Structure 1
Amino acid sequence: MTANWVPDAELPGYEQCSIDLPDQPTYGLEPEGSLVATVVRRGAPSSGRAVLYVHGWNDYFFQTHLADAMAALGYDFYALDLRRYGRSLRPGQLAGYIADLADYFVELDAAVDIITGEGHADLVLMGHSTGGLTSALYAHERPGTFSGVVLNAPWLEAHGNTLLRPAMSAAGAVAPTTVLPLGETGFYRRSLSSSEEGEWTYNLNLKGDPAFRARFGWLAAISNGHARVAEGLQIDCPVLVAISKRSLFSKVWGEEQQLADIVLDVELIAARAPKLGDNVTIVRVPDAMHDLTLSSEAVRAVVFEEFGRFIRCYAQR
């Protein structure tokens, strides 16, 4: 695939290109043929090595400091905004919706084709949260593609998921686009956004937007992905699973929520991580947030040190 790079709409100095997905399924009243994905790159290729980053739920790529850290390791940096997310979300679409995580393999294949076509023979796949789950499944299905996989708090399992999977699959089949009645404290956005208690400035319409509604079909897709991990994957390259030292779930806001994962249970992630392949490294970082790269400056310095150590020692061909 030939990429048509244009200035990025969100980040000065970055470039983006669109991947049209006209044959991919739409749902409800979504405009047919409207789906696209978007690849973002830090700059023109300067190395034979590259990182491809996949964001999490209700998110998009904006972490330029992560791209800078990878460039310092000698890796060109690319990120993928999946269909119905970030730069790829179009009017009338169901924000964040997917019926099968394997559907994302279409844009992942296209992104890999673009990156390898630009001269990168050594490719590291990096995914966060739901993007970490998708990345793990994709790496399992594409042996020989990656020299390493870095998973930042990947959503590998959920509480009670084993018992509830049949019910979730049934609900997803009967009422796939029905919105789940979930409560939202807004604490994670509060912990991150510079408009509230956090450090980071980003497009609030592309990350943390309430238009992103969890739906039964989406949850069934996630649950099916969890089931595949539980059965055991065979990712054929070294895998790093980086998580916070602890999780914290509270109905009351406190500054401690900026020193823990307040989204996922890190104990469940740690328990599932060995199922990813034969060469899995687990790193637990004290005081790290759910997205480890958005933790405090001192903590993310540790995170990038761990990423760098893993890539240098395990992920270079």
Structure 2
Amino acid sequence: MSTPIGQDWQQVNDGEDLLGANFRARTFSFAGPKTQVHTTLIHHIGNPDATNAILYVHGYTDYFFQTGLAEHFINLGYRFYALDLQGYGRSIRPSTPPNWCESLEQYGQDLDIALATMKQDGVNQVVILGHSTGGLVVSTYLAQPYALPERESHYNKAFPKVIGLMLNSPFLALPFPPKILNRVSWPIRVLVSLLPFSYLRAKKISLYAKTIHCVFGGEWDYRLDWKPAQGFDLSFHWLREVIHAQRNLANQRIKIPTLLCHSAASTIGKLTVEDVQQGDGVLDVESMVQAAKKTFTNLTQVSIAQGFHDLYLSHETARTTYLSAMSDWLKTLPHAP
């Protein structure tokens, strides 16, 4: 992104979040690439005087609902914030299709709004936690040549200092093993470029959804209109922009301290819920790790046995390991609570 998308934004809503009295939600309206869009900043009201915070950014076909994740960081002494990006969850509006984007770089505006608002709240230092596509969005934001001090000047607003990045199964590469990825990347890139207005229709409930939602026997209850079990229709344009962002990121070098957490195995293509639950049923771990090692020069890597794609939604043993890995890594950062 050479410059921020817009000059300013307007807060249009502020109140108790649907997650309950411990959570506050603020909605902001701003000019998107084609129409007015919204982004929603949710935060846990705990530790109101703390100056260090975690900012969580969700993945594709997703939104923030993991209250226990927030409470984990609150117990560590951090403040906790999460974004529902434009077109996702609380920020879905009738004017644009869910999850639609012209470019992944447009989410830089959402992050600008979140960081500026957190600074107004008294946050001085922030560690960003990105899951899946959220990890790609955040990494793209941090890699851009338009540095944060220049963005502050552009908006005439102060931002907190980003002192670390945590990645939960980031979407840094297409979901193929490295040898296959090398062969299929070019044909996929050509296809989605030639047919940008095409979609893969979402019809079948995914095995991954069956591993996590309580309706299908999983542990978690969340809104299936915002995170549908069959997913939203997959836009070829969206996929083209993801590939573009991944290729750009592969040519960047990010020096910020980074923690990469991922499952110990990929279970893409497995035929039963039980088999999918043994690892990451969405992305290829080996390709993900190779991409991360290429981009992040100050990288700590943690492998989680039987971790799901969203490691926090894993069964308790893997979930506890994941939370402990983040807690231990955060202690290595300067001025940790």
| TM-score of the superposed pair, with normalisation by structure 1 | 0.90
Larger mean Cα displacement after TM superposition, 205-214 or 242-251: 205-214
* 1:283 partner letter: V
Confirm or deny: 8 A CA contact 2:259 2:299 kept in the other structure. yes
What displacement does 1:161 show?
5.2
Question: 2:320 matched to 1:301?
Answer: yes
Confirm or deny: 8 A CA contact 2:270 2:276 kept in the other structure. no
What displacement does 1:206 show?
1.1
Residues 102 and 74 (structure 1 numbering): CA distance in 2 closer, same or farther, change over 3 Å?
same
Partner of 1:24: 32
The separation in 2 between residues aligned to 1:173 and 1:287, in whole angstroms, is 36
* 1:180 partner letter: L
What displacement does 1:282 show?
0.9
What displacement does 1:69 show?
0.8
* 1:224 partner letter: H
Partner of 2:42: 40
What displacement does 1:185 show?
5.0
Confirm or deny: 8 A CA contact 1:58 1:209 kept in the other structure. no
* 2:164 partner letter: G
Aligned residue for 2:199, secondary structure, equals coil
Confirm or deny: 8 A CA contact 1:273 1:282 kept in the other structure. no
CA RMSD of aligned residues (A): 2.3
Question: 2:17 matched to 1:8?
Answer: yes
Confirm or deny: 8 A CA contact 1:165 1:220 kept in the other structure. no
* Equivalent residue for 2:296, pick from 254, 277, 280: 277
* 2:209 partner letter: R
The separation in 2 between residues aligned to 1:177 and 1:70, in whole angstroms, is 41
Partner of 2:238: 218
What displacement does 1:188 show?
0.9
The separation in 2 between residues aligned to 1:114 and 1:194, in whole angstroms, is 34
Confirm or deny: 8 A CA contact 2:143 2:249 kept in the other structure. no
The separation in 1 between residues aligned to 2:273 and 2:186, in whole angstroms, is 36
* Equivalent residue for 1:153, pick from 155, 165, 169: 169
Residues 163 and 224 (structure 1 numbering): CA distance in 2 closer, same or farther, change over 3 Å?
farther
Residues 98 and 201 (structure 1 numbering): CA distance in 2 closer, same or farther, change over 3 Å?
same
* Equivalent residue for 1:186, pick from 206, 215, 219: 206
Confirm or deny: 8 A CA contact 1:139 1:146 kept in the other structure. no
* Equivalent residue for 2:83, pick from 80, 83, 87: 80
Residues 250 and 216 (structure 1 numbering): CA distance in 2 closer, same or farther, change over 3 Å?
closer
What displacement does 1:163 show?
5.3
The separation in 2 between residues aligned to 1:169 and 1:176, in whole angstroms, is 10
| CA-to-aligned-CA distance 1:60-80 (integer Å, 9 cap, x gap) | 000011101111111100000
The separation in 2 between residues aligned to 1:283 and 1:276, in whole angstroms, is 17
Partner of 2:285: 266
Partner of 2:72: 69
Confirm or deny: 8 A CA contact 1:229 1:275 kept in the other structure. no
Question: Any gaps of 5 or more consecutive residues in structure 2?
Answer: 1-8, 150-160
Q: Percent identity?
A: 30
The separation in 1 between residues aligned to 2:96 and 2:19, in whole angstroms, is 20
Partner of 2:130: 127
Question: Any gaps of 5 or more consecutive residues in structure 1?
Answer: 27-31
* 2:118 partner letter: I
Question: 2:228 matched to 1:208?
Answer: yes
Confirm or deny: 8 A CA contact 1:243 1:285 kept in the other structure. yes
Confirm or deny: 8 A CA contact 2:202 2:233 kept in the other structure. no
Runs of 4+ in 1 over 6 A off after TM superposition: none
Aligned length: 309
Confirm or deny: 8 A CA contact 2:210 2:273 kept in the other structure. no
